[in-house]
Each structure stands twice: as structure tokens, then as C-alpha cells.
Amino acid sequence: MPILLLTVRGRRTDKPRTTPVGFLNQDGAWIVAGSAGGMRDEPQWFQNLRKTDQAIAEIGNVRRDVAVTVTKGAQRDALWQLLLTAYPFFAGYQTKAAREIPVAILEARG
């Protein structure tokens, strides 16, 4: 699974936090899931994404400002199926987590 470095401001501290995150490239956007490897609690970086509409994504030596969309309903479900097709191990994470794993879209701005 490819990895990007996601920098998002902390929802309480407003300080930038950088986290390596697996992603799926879909039509020029990057799809990320807050799986936390199937942990019960949603990862902090995803909780921070919920509180903003922008972040920074770095892939290799390419750094982009991105618009953040946390998906819901049918959009989330469709993207989740794409993630499962590309990375079947996410199914085990979903079972372990006992929560709906959230999915977000990161789209380059500008």
C-alpha cells in the first residue's frame, strides 16, 4: 500500500501534525481511511481531519495543499468498496474495529 505524509492542524492545539497514511489514488484524488489497524477508537489524525477542510499531502517529493472531504452514506460506502478491492485486509480491520471506519477524500487545491 502506498503511503503519503498527511499534515493537518490539531483540532485542539492548532499545531501542524504529520502522520504517514496509506492511500488509494482515485481519479486524481487520494482516498484515506481512518482504520487505525482495526483499533476501537478513531485515530487522532482522522479526528483532526473532521475539524478542517484543508491539509497538506506529501507523496515522495511532491507536496500539495489539499481540500478535505470526510465522506458519508453512499459516497463513503462506494469508496470503502474501492478500498476493499485494492486492499482486502481492510475487511479484517473493519471486523476488529466494531465501528464504521471513516473515509476521506483529499483533492489537490489550485
Q: Which amino acid is at 36?
A: A
Question: 9-35, pLDDT tens digit by residue?
Answer: 999 999 999 999 999 999 999 999 999
- The span from the CA of 89 to the CA of 92, in Å, is 6
- The span from the CA of 71 to the CA of 102, in Å, is 7
Question: 58-81, pLDDT tens digit by residue?
Answer: 999 999 999 999 999 999 999 999
